[in-house]
Structure 1
Amino acid sequence: MRPVDVGWIRVFVEVAARGSLSEAARQLSLTQPAVSYQMRRAEEELGVPLLRRVHRGTELTEAGRRLAEILTPAVAQVDMLARELRQNPAKRVLRLYTDFAFSALWLIPRMHRFRERFPDLELQVIATQHTALRDLGPGDTAVIFGALAQIEGPCELLLSECVVPVCTPAFAEAHGTALERAPLIHLDSTLAPAKWFDWTRYLSETGKTRPDAQERGLHFNTYSLVIEATLAGQGVALGWRGLIDSMLSRKMLVEAGASLTNADQGYLLVQHGPHDPAAAHLRTFLLEESAR
């Protein structure tokens, strides 16, 4: 048996409620012949009369009454759902690809401001240590660590690489901050040499000598763990400006040496076109927050 064509349902419900083809037509902004046609279609679909003519209108047959009992609440529920969906449309989801350090230390403390400013946008953060820029879709955003010269296509420098040795105040008081002797906390890299400042490069460029710099101390493969170990008083780490600024301002960490900057690399903002308004809002937000 073929399924019933239900395109006539709303017209039938209106006729059943009004008891008049002309009143139903007026309510639906249709002509009376159009309403009559839909009623004939309904009766042809079901094979029985649904209406009978009476003085000044129509009334339901027994089959029509049974059908109205089913369809009237169903159409009302559909209308209610439509009103809810129109009042609360699905939020536009923006995907932001970045690494664990940037998402945990820079982005999360600022996300409340993004939600307050753009309540109709949903931000999906995808944390990964290796974002393939070629896989970004239209409207996707990536914040990656790298050198400007190595990125194909347009990108913007969000945070320049600037590092400073940091430790807890208690560690500085108990052990001092002489980098030639202090236990060092390292962020390991799968590349040699690392594309960021590591302890060997930092000590060399600041004129300090420590042959065992990379061999001694604690080693971690994610920067969040480096900071956790530093906060636990395990030694001195290289703190990235922009990621640990709030910890310095709250005296959770203190500087234990001079800053070192590489203006040609850092966290880069990448978006592939075409740029829709929602993705443009995210770009503006990230740039404005980095300027703080």
Structure 2
Amino acid sequence: MVYSLPPLSWLRAFEASARLGNFTRAAEELLITPAAVSYQVRQLEQKLGYPLFERVHRELVLTRLGQTYLPSVEKAFSDLSIATVSVFGERDRKPVRFRCLNSFSQLWMIPRLKSFQQAFPEIELQMMSASWAETLNPDLFDIDIRFGDGSWRDGAVEFLLNDPIVPVCHPQFSFDVRERDLDTLAHASRLDIMGVIDTWESFFRAFGHPAPRRTGLQVDQTLSALELAALGHGHALVLETLAQPYLETGRLVLSCDRKIKSRHSYYLVTSGPRQGLGSDAQIFCSWLIGELGAKDL
């Protein structure tokens, strides 16, 4: 088969220049001179017959056609990199370093790490936990799995999952679903998680019920709220994904069948575009996206 392709070095110069914003930074990554990068991009533009960049004050701005072409070029290099490592391995491999919130790591990530390691035994992982979303430090980790509104400016942000919020409790505290059961729940002992945006007040208002007064304990971690609820200390309002291990084992049940849409979501945050990560990190990200995408919401 004959492929209608420009030289790969020209495409690599285009991808690096688009990702890094100018020829100088692209040259540093590709270990050639800025003049060589500029030449290769010009040759690519001449072959295609269209400009890919506008040169604005020493910075590069993609043209409309450049913006259309870039994702396909990025994916091609990403697929080629992953395939190469999958078949031939990688010398001097570095561990994939990622960070996620404590509750997510304990309740979602850790139970699934064995399946990842079985599928990719040659990839070494380093997991770090955090209590709150913090600034990305590429010197410490490559990938950050965050929960929030996605408005961070310290890295490339990619949507992962929006999870519903559900009320859960010890099995002895559940009740049948009828309109008046909101009144029952409003007068029951409830656990509050400090710092969350989707509160009990939000839950009740979503169903047109007056917001009840605060009762019960306040905690700073979802994991603490789930453990307290499982011990019978009250109802907890949590993300369905994090409650799932407790629901599957029967330690907790749904307080009722009401749920609300979370105003925050899970996001993947990386220091640059995902396609610019090492091949092992890209494999991990693809696995993570596949696992979360398989969740039946």
Range class of TM-score, shorter chain: 0.5 to 0.7
Distance 1:120 1:268 in 2: 26
**Counterpart mapping for 1:104-253 below 5 A:** 104-137=106-139, 140-148=142-150, 150-152=151-153, 153-172=155-174, 178-189=184-195, 194=196, 196-213=197-214, 216-253=215-252
Letter of the 2:222 counterpart = Y
Normalised by the length of structure 2, the TM-score is 0.59
How far the C-alpha of 1:131 sits from its partner, in A, is 4.0
Distance 2:169 2:133 in 1: 30
1:11-47 CA distance string (max 9 Å, x none) = xxxxxxxxxxxxxxxxxxxxxxxxxxxxxxxxxxxxx
Distance 1:128 1:154 in 2: 19
Letter of the 1:93 counterpart = P
Distance 2:227 2:201 in 1: 21
How far the C-alpha of 1:224 sits from its partner, in A, is 0.9
How far the C-alpha of 1:90 sits from its partner, in A, is 7.4
* 3-state SS in 1 of match to 2:109: helix
Normalised by the length of structure 1, the TM-score is 0.60
Relative distance call for 1:227 and 1:278 in structure 2 (3 A) is same
Letter of the 1:199 counterpart = W
Letter of the 2:102 counterpart = F
Q: Report the count of equivalent residues.
A: 193
Relative distance call for 1:210 and 1:279 in structure 2 (3 A) is same
8 Å CA contact retained: 1:94, 1:278: yes
8 Å CA contact retained: 1:139, 1:275: no
Letter of the 1:185 counterpart = L
8 Å CA contact retained: 2:101, 2:130: yes
How far the C-alpha of 1:163 sits from its partner, in A, is 0.3
8 Å CA contact retained: 1:155, 1:268: yes
Distance 2:185 2:106 in 1: 27
- The answer for the alignment partner of 2:264 in structure 1 is 265
Distance 1:105 1:124 in 2: 17
8 Å CA contact retained: 1:139, 1:279: no
- The answer for the alignment partner of 1:288 in structure 2 is 290
How far the C-alpha of 1:253 sits from its partner, in A, is 1.8
Name the larger-Rg structure.
1
8 Å CA contact retained: 1:159, 1:242: no
How far the C-alpha of 1:91 sits from its partner, in A, is 6.2
* 3-state SS in 1 of match to 2:160: strand
* 3-state SS in 2 of match to 1:135: coil
* 3-state SS in 2 of match to 1:92: coil
Distance 2:277 2:187 in 1: 51
- Overall identity of the aligned pairs, in %: 26
Relative distance call for 1:218 and 1:139 in structure 2 (3 A) is closer
Could you list the runs of 4 or more consecutive aligned residues of structure 1 that deviate by over 4 angstroms after TM superposition? none
Letter of the 1:245 counterpart = Q
Relative distance call for 1:132 and 1:172 in structure 2 (3 A) is closer
How far the C-alpha of 1:202 sits from its partner, in A, is 1.6
* Root-mean-square deviation (Å): 2.3
Distance 2:99 2:277 in 1: 16
How far the C-alpha of 1:255 sits from its partner, in A, is 1.4
How far the C-alpha of 1:98 sits from its partner, in A, is 1.2
1:91-112 CA distance string (max 9 Å, x none) = 6311111111111111111111
Relative distance call for 1:139 and 1:275 in structure 2 (3 A) is farther
How far the C-alpha of 1:252 sits from its partner, in A, is 2.6
Instruction: Return 5+ residue gaps in structure 2 as ranges.
Output: 1-90, 176-180
1:242-282 CA distance string (max 9 Å, x none) = 112232233332212311013x6311111223311011011
